[in-house]
Amino acid sequence: MSIKKFVVGLYDDEAPLFDAVKQIRKEGFKIHDVYTPYPVHGMDKALGLRETSLHTAGFIYGMTGTTIALSFMSWVFTTNWPLNIGGKPHFPLPSLIPITFEFTVMCAAVGMVLTFCYLCKFAPFVRKHHFHERATDDKFVVVIECTSDSTEADATATLAKLGAAEINTQIAESEWWFGTYDKEEKKYTEQDLVKAAH
Amino acid sequence: MSVIKYESAVRGPLIDGTKDYHQITEDILKPIETTPSKLWKIGFTIAVLLLIFGVYSVYREVTYGIGEWNINKTIGWGWDITNFVWWVGIGHAGTLISAILLLFRQGWRTGVNRAAEAMTIFAVICAGQFPIFHMGRVWMAFFVMPYPNTRGPLWVNFTSPLLWDVFAISTYFTVSLLFWYSGLLPDFATIRDRAKIKWRKRFYGVAAFGWTGSTKHWQRFESLSLVLAGLSTPLVLSVHTIVSFDFATSVIPGWHTTIFPPYFVAGAVFSGFAMVQSLMIITRKVLNLQEYITMEHIEVMNKVIVLTGSIVGIAYITELFMAWYSQNPYEGYAFYYSRANLFSPYGWSYWGMMACNVISPQIFWFRKLRRNLTVTFFMSVLINVGMWFERFVIIVTSLYRDYLPSSWSYYYSPSTWEIGFYLGTFGLFFTCFFLFAKWFPVIAIAEVKSILKKSGNKYKNEELRHELENDSIEEFTKKFSHH
């Protein structure tokens, strides 16, 4: 549980978004996140996010698959149950390549998708707070977190200056919780915020 | 920010009409948010009836044994494996479109990738039924799994192409499913956030896994799709290669050829694209998506069809040449007596295949015909008939007269339940596809949005105007790109 206060700025177009994000960061605000309906390229860099290492994880999973497949099959054919198939070699490497390859791909893909879901906290019945319901449709949402250094008024003023079409303040749970989307979301007040701080 | 998202004005727009982001969402989600049309209900009913007939056919085969089919000791594979290879082949276009075209940065894939991937998954499900039920005692199917058992421990034969197939098909199915579903997450979230009805909000909320559209999630999402595309590219090539190994590693004349892997892969792409065309031409019309699956899309797919069809044609001719050049009497018999000879028992199937796969697609050299919907639809069906004949020719004409004349089989025609099984997989495929068209966004909404300002009609026209006015391209991209 971490209930926080956010100032939410809404943009109709992605064009002013980059300059706005840059300016907001320059002025020392903490951007909680930017929500977009499609991947806006370069936004991760503008936000100063580091490159994801998901692909490295994928490589490691793949190599694990290669090792398991190859060592298992060679153990079966040479140690556990050596079969004489027409006098052919017990360790026929070329014939083991197809399964090794398939298993490598399988491990890499499954491992990566699971890691992706784990990192992003994606699972069935997971619910998260939505700052704007059209962020998955056509709106671009910049969310500034209110901290001791940046007050609600400051953030609102900055967003207004930077051309946000709509600005509001929300107190919300910033993590995920179990739940379905047909239920009303719990409303938090200033008191909850104070309680959460302690 | 510095990347210029400029696309040549020579390329036609991939999104017609004057769309904005919201309009795209509205258009693509319309079928999901409205009750299905009468046409949908009729189609779905027919598909379910076919499926029921298929289930009954399979029930007979399981209950009374493989003798319910007309396959015999000589033609052991018959329709069953023909249908298997045919469906697997069709299942190749989806991953080709979503993976290989992603790596090649082809913008047009966004219009058709979702439906093509769905088609891939359904086709692979259909394909899988055939080898499983061909086992006869299907309750023993788990024997193909490598597990320590009570007979040894005796393991499966890892050096057999048939086992490679088990791994290839199951990996292909799993990876395609993951690729498809991870791509669906943002679109499910879009449906969820628009939903007014309670159950829809709940259902798509669960399906969307809690997607929010966060920048960090998009970054990981893109990395995931890129790596999955990179993995799927060799995978899709490996799957039909391995299917061709089922034949090529044997010593049957007509199968024992090194040309099989590339020839099968080209054939798979060929038939897969034909199936995508058949489905897309109907889907875009019924769901009113002509502005997203444009003539531009149809035309590029026809170009792929004429390319792969010609590759397949070269493979056919190469086979004939090698049969003559090798001077191997068995090869010569298989190719010149059993196949290319129109007056042999199965000569009709060889020439049917040649006409459908090699000769007829050549009409797509003409732009006018590439952009003609009726011609394209007719051709797409014809190609799939031809590709079915190809697998039939390979399997039956090589088997029916083997090395021992006393075991020659004169003529093989399928039994009702053999045909019923095949029709049943059509039922399964179209039942799945109809459900998909109703409950899933048939076009990847987020991906279409990402090309809107590059290939949308409105922006394209603007671009052209700027070019005519000799505006600097930097000025234009500054105005319109989101980079």
Which tens digits make up the pLDDT trace of B304-315? 999 999 999 999
The answer to whether the Cβ–Cβ distance between B219 and A98 falls below 8 Å is: no
Among the residue ranges A97-101, A183-187, B235-239, B455-459, the one predicted with the least confidence is B455-459
pLDDT band at B106 (very low <50, low <70, confident <90, very high): confident
Rounded to 5 degrees, φ, ψ at B302 are -65, -30
pLDDT tens digits, A26-58: 888 888 889 999 888 888 888 888 888 899 999
At which of A120, A146, A172 does a domain end?
A120
Do A106 and A85 fall within a single domain?
A: yes
Same-domain status, A106 and A94: yes
Mutate to test the interface with A, among B190, B193, B450, B481 (most CBs of A within 10 A): B193
Number of domains in chain A: 2
Q: What share of chain A is helix, strand, coil (3-state, %, to 5)?
A: 45, 20, 35
Same domain, A110 and A135: no
Q: To probe the interface with B, which of A45, A101, A102 has the most B CB atoms within 10 Å?
A: A102
Q: What is the separation of C-alpha B293 from the centre of its chain, rounded to a whole number of angstroms?
A: 17
Residue with tokens 């998009």: B218
pLDDT band at A119 (very low <50, low <70, confident <90, very high): very high
Taking only residues 303 to 342 of chain B, the set having a beta carbon closer than 8 angstroms to any beta carbon of chain A reads none
Nearest to B219 among A49, A108, A127 (CB): A49
Convert the pLDDT of each residue in B316-365 to its tens digit: 999 999 999 999 998 999 899 888 888 888 899 999 999 999 999 999 99
Q: Report pLDDT for B474.
A: 63
- The pLDDT of residue B94: 83
Per-residue pLDDT at B39: 87
Higher-scoring residue by pLDDT: B471, A188: A188
For residue B420, the number of C-alpha atoms closer than 13 Å in the C-beta half-sphere is 17
Reply yes or no on whether the pLDDT at B4 is more than 60.
no
ipTM value, please give it: 0.93
What DSSP letter does each residue of B279-316 carry, written as one string? HHHHHHHHTT-TTTS-HHHHHHHHHHHHHHHHHHHHHH
Percent share of chain B, pLDDT over 90: 53
Q: Are residues A128 and A96 in the same domain?
A: no
pLDDT at position A12 is: 86
- The pLDDT > 70 percentage for chain B reads 92
Verify that A46 and A129 share a domain, yes or no: yes
Read off the pLDDT band of B2 (50, 70, 90): very low
Show residues of chain B in contact with A52, CB under 8 Å. Answer: 216, 219-220, 223
Instruction: Mark whether A44 and A58 lie in a shared domain.
Output: no
A87 and A133 housed in the same domain: no
Start-to-end CA distance of chain B, whole Å, equals 4
Which of these three, A87, A120, A153, is where a domain ends?
A120
**Among A98, A112, A137, whose Cβ lies nearest the Cβ of B22?**
A137
State the residue range of the domain holding A23.
Answer: 3-51+124-197
B434 band by pLDDT with thresholds 50, 70 and 90: very high
Task: Choose the final residue of a domain: A70, A102, A120.
Answer: A120
| Nearest 10 degrees: Cα torsion B472, B474, B477, B479 | -80
Q: A154-163, B85-94, B220-229 — which is least confidently predicted? A: A154-163
For B:137-176, CB contacts with A below 8 A are: 146, 152-155, 157-159, 161, 163-164, 167-168, 170-171, 174-175
Q: What's the pLDDT band for B480 if we cut at 50, 70, 90?
A: low
Measured between CB atoms, which of A46, A135, A180 is closest to B205? A180
One domain, residues A103 and A128: no
In 3-state terms, what secondary structure has residue A11?
strand
- Find residue A9's DSSP bridge partners: A142, A167
Q: Residue B391 in contact with residue B88, Cβ under 8 Å? A: no
Q: What pLDDT does A195 receive?
A: 79
Q: What average pLDDT does this structure show over B363-371?
A: 92
Choose among B182, B193, B219: nearest Cβ to A44. Answer: B219
Residues of A in Cβ contact (< 8 Å) with B192: 136, 181
pLDDT over threshold 90, residue A118: yes
Binary contact (A109, B228; C-beta < 8 A): yes
CA distance A108 to chain B (A): 8
The answer to whether residues A73 and A100 belong to one domain is yes
CATH of B2-148+159-469, picked from 1.10.150.120, 3.40.50.300, 1.20.1630.10, 1.20.1250.20, is 1.20.1630.10
Chain A to chain B Cβ contacts (< 8 Å): 213
Q: Check whether A169 has a pLDDT greater than 90.
A: no
Q: Is residue A178 packed enough to be buried (19+ CB in 10 Å), middle (13-18) or exposed (0-12)?
A: exposed
> Is the pLDDT at B483 greater than 50, yes or no?
no
Tell whether A134 and A185 lie within a shared domain: yes
| Cα–Cα dist B226/A131, whole Å | 29
Q: Which of residues 202-241 of B touch A (CB under 8 A)?
A: 202, 204-207, 209-224, 226-228, 231-232, 234-235, 238
A116 and A128, same domain (yes or no): no
The pLDDT, as a whole number, for residue B113 is: 87
For B21-58, how does the pLDDT look when each residue is reduced to its tens digit (9 = 90+)?
888 888 888 888 888 888 889 999 999 999 999 999 99
**A187-191, B11-15, B469-473: range with lowest mean pLDDT:** B469-473
Interface subset of B 172-201, CB within 8 angstroms of A:
174-175, 178-179, 182, 185-186, 189-190, 192-195, 198-199, 201
pLDDT of B244 reads: 93
Q: What is the mean pLDDT of residues B235-256?
A: 91
Contacts of A95 in chain B (CB under 8 A): 158-159
- B158 and A73 in contact by Cβ < 8 A? yes
Q: Is a pLDDT exceeding 90 seen at residue B286?
A: no
Q: What percent of chain A has pLDDT over 70?
A: 99
Find which of A21, A53, A105 to mutate to test the B interface (most B CBs within 10 Å of its CB): A105
**More confident site: A71 or A83:** A71
Q: What is the mean pLDDT of residues B215-244?
A: 92
CA distances from B355 to A68, B45, B351, B386 (A): 47, 34, 6, 8
pLDDT (average), residues B117-139:
92
Averaged confidence pLDDT in chain B? 87
Strand-pair partners of A169: A7
pLDDT tens column, B144-203: 888 887 777 788 888 899 999 999 999 999 999 999 999 999 999 999 998 888 899 999
Q: What is the distance in angstroms between the Cα of A9 and the nearest Cα belonging to chain B? A: 14
Q: What is the predicted pLDDT for the residue at B1?
A: 31
Q: Does B251 touch chain A (CB under 8 A)?
A: no
Do residue A33 and residue B168 have CB atoms under 8 angstroms apart?
no
Same domain, A44 and A128: yes
CATH code of the domain covering residue A45: 3.30.70
Asked whether residue B482 carries a pLDDT value surpassing 60, the answer given is no
Question: Contact B154/A176, CB-based, under 8 Å?
Answer: no
**Contact A113/B182 with Cβ under 8 angstroms?**
yes
